[in-house]
Amino acid sequence: MIRDRLTHIQASIGDNIQLIAVSKTHSIERILEAYEVGQRDFGENKVQELVAKYEALPKDIRWHMIGHLQSNKVKYIAPFVSLIHGVDSVKLLHEINKQGLKNNRIISCLLQFHIAQEETKFGFSEEEASTFIGGPEFQQLKQVKLCGVMGMATFTEDTNQVRREFQSLRLIFNHLKTTHFHSSEAFKEISMGMSDDYPIAIEEGSTMVRVGSKIFGQR
Ligand SMILES: *Cc1c(COP(=O)(O)O)cnc(C)c1O
């Protein structure tokens, strides 16, 4: 089942878009099923679970931290995490930099933006991010590599609204790219799209989709 669903999604999104298989709550055995058909990028949203799975699974897996990350937990994932998607505060960026130094690693991050109508979603506003990136403090964060942006659309049946929210993230990306990152090769990712909305996200310029239930079934 996992095998069929995964190969179907891989084929439908094509080679230019990265598929992050969101394995939160699912067992080691189920992750291995996906691994065996070639999937190497997996996403988790809880630090403890991410560390446990990292320890138990093959070391060529690239682990993505996709959930809200508390500063005091960065130290547990800093030695191995491949990409932190949900960076939503300056404080967190400083902590990631500090742990990057300790581990002698440059840690790749995406800035999370608040694009949904829902109150509960974390993230920067474009203005906040732009001010920070343009300022002197950001230049000090040598162990942080900003690779792009991430966002979550509102949970709604209204596909026009979802599309508009993805468009707004794409615009934020474009603005940041031209203003601050025109010479950065790393700054190129737009992480948007989940099981229910990834086809729309791709139409609106997503470079990375984070798909869980469409691969692993309901949690
Ligand atoms: C759980 C989760 C996903 C995947 O959700 P599905 O609807 O199962 O595809 C994607 N992104 C984030 C941030 C998540 O927490």
> To test the ligand 1 pocket, which listed residue (13, 26, 41, 45) has its Cβ within 8 A of the most ligand atoms?
45
Q: Among candidates 5, 14, 21, 2, which has minimal Cα distance to 194?
A: 21
In tens, the pLDDT along 43-74 reads: 999 999 999 999 999 999 999 999 999 999 99
Distance (angstroms) between ligand 1 centre and the Cα of 134 equals 31
Quick: pLDDT tens for 61-110: 999 999 999 999 999 999 999 999 999 999 999 999 999 999 999 999 99
Find the 79 Cα to ligand 1 centroid distance in Å. Answer: 24
Ligand 1 binding pocket (C-beta < 6 A) is 22, 24, 45, 66-67, 152, 194-196, 210-214
Angle at which helices 28-36 and 47-56 pack, to 10 degrees?
60
Q: Which of 20, 65, 210 to mutate to test the pocket of ligand 1 (most atoms within 8 A of CB)?
A: 210
- Give residues with Cβ within 8 angstroms of 192, minimum separation 6: 150, 151, 152, 153, 166, 169, 201, 204, 206, 208, 209
How does strand 208-211 pair with strand 107-113?
Answer: unpaired
pTM of the model: 0.97
